[in-house]
Chains A and B, each alone.
Chain A
Amino acid sequence: MHDIINESNRLNRRTFLGQSAGGLGALGLSTLLHRTGWAATGTQNSLPHFAPKAKRVIYLFQSGAPSQIETFDHKPILHQRHGQELPESIRQGQRLTGMTAGQSSFPMAGSQFPFSRHGQSGTWFSSLLPHTAKVADDICVINSMHTDAINHDPAATLIQTGSQFPGRPAIGSWIDYGLGSDNENLPAFIVLITKERYGQPLYARLWGNGFLPSQHQGVQFRSGKDPVLYLNNPPGVDFKDRRDQLDILRQLQERQSQRFNDPEIQTRIAQYEMAFRMQTSVPEITNTTDEPDHIFDLYGETSRDSGTFAANCLLARRMAEKGVKFIQLYHRGWDQHDDLPSGIQRQCKDTDQASAALITDLKQRGMLDETLVVWGGEFGRTNYSQGELTQTNYGRDHHPKCFSIWMAGGGIQGGRTYGQTDDFSYNIVENSVHIHDFQATLMHLMGIHHEQFTFKFQGRRFRLTDVHGHVLHDLMV
Chain B
Amino acid sequence: MIAFDAPNRSVCTVKREHTNTPIQALTLLNDPEFMEAARVLAQRMQLEAGKTIDHQLNLGFRLLCGRYPDATELNLLTTLFDRAYTKYENNPEATNALLEVGAYPLNPKLDRVQTAALTQVASTIMNFDEAYMKR
To the question of whether A and B form a pair in one complex, the answer is yes
Which of A's residues lie within 8 Å of B, judged by CB? Answer: 187, 201, 203-205, 208, 214-215, 217, 219-220, 222, 228-238, 240-242, 244-245, 248-249, 251-253, 255-256, 260, 262, 264-265, 267-268, 271-272, 274-275, 278-279
Q: For window 111-135 of chain B, which residues contact chain A by CB distance below 8 Å? A: 116, 120, 123-124, 127-130, 133, 135
B5/A204 in contact, CB under 8 A: yes
Residues in chain A near residue B80, CB distance under 8 A: 244-245, 248
User: Assuming the A-B contacts A252-B128, A275-B25, are A241 and B84 also in contact, with contact meaning beta carbons closer than 8 angstroms in the complex?
Assistant: yes
B128/A253 in contact, CB under 8 A: yes
Which of B's residues lie within 8 Å of A, judged by CB? Answer: 2-3, 5, 8, 11, 17-27, 29-32, 35, 72-73, 76-77, 79-80, 83-84, 87-88, 93-101, 116, 120, 123-124, 127-130, 133, 135
User: Assuming the A-B contacts A208-B19, A236-B95, A264-B20, are A231 and B30 also in contact, with contact meaning beta carbons closer than 8 angstroms in the complex?
Assistant: yes
User: Assuming the A-B contacts A244-B80, A249-B128, A251-B76, are A234 and B35 also in contact, with contact meaning beta carbons closer than 8 angstroms in the complex?
Assistant: yes
B17/A205 in contact, CB under 8 A: yes
A278/B26 in contact, CB under 8 A: yes
User: Assuming the A-B contacts A204-B17, A248-B76, A252-B73, are A241 and B128 also in contact, with contact meaning beta carbons closer than 8 angstroms in the complex?
Assistant: no
A228/B23 in contact, CB under 8 A: yes
User: Assuming the A-B contacts A219-B23, A251-B76, A255-B72, are A244 and B83 also in contact, with contact meaning beta carbons closer than 8 angstroms in the complex?
Assistant: yes
B98 touches which one: A237, A255, A262 (CB < 8 A)?
Answer: A237
User: Assuming the A-B contacts A201-B8, A203-B17, A249-B127, are A237 and B120 also in contact, with contact meaning beta carbons closer than 8 angstroms in the complex?
Assistant: yes
5 contacts between A and B (CB under 8 A): A217-B19, A234-B123, A242-B29, A249-B128, A271-B24
Residues in chain A near residue B83, CB distance under 8 A: 244
B20/A267 in contact, CB under 8 A: yes
CA distance A59 to B103 in the complex (A): 43
User: Assuming the A-B contacts A230-B27, A256-B130, are A236 and B96 also in contact, with contact meaning beta carbons closer than 8 angstroms in the complex?
Assistant: yes
Residues in chain A near residue B19, CB distance under 8 A: 204, 208, 214, 217
B30/A268 in contact, CB under 8 A: no
A235/B100 in contact, CB under 8 A: yes
CA distance A267 to B97 in the complex (A): 32
Which partner residue on chain B sits nearest A208 by CB separation? B17
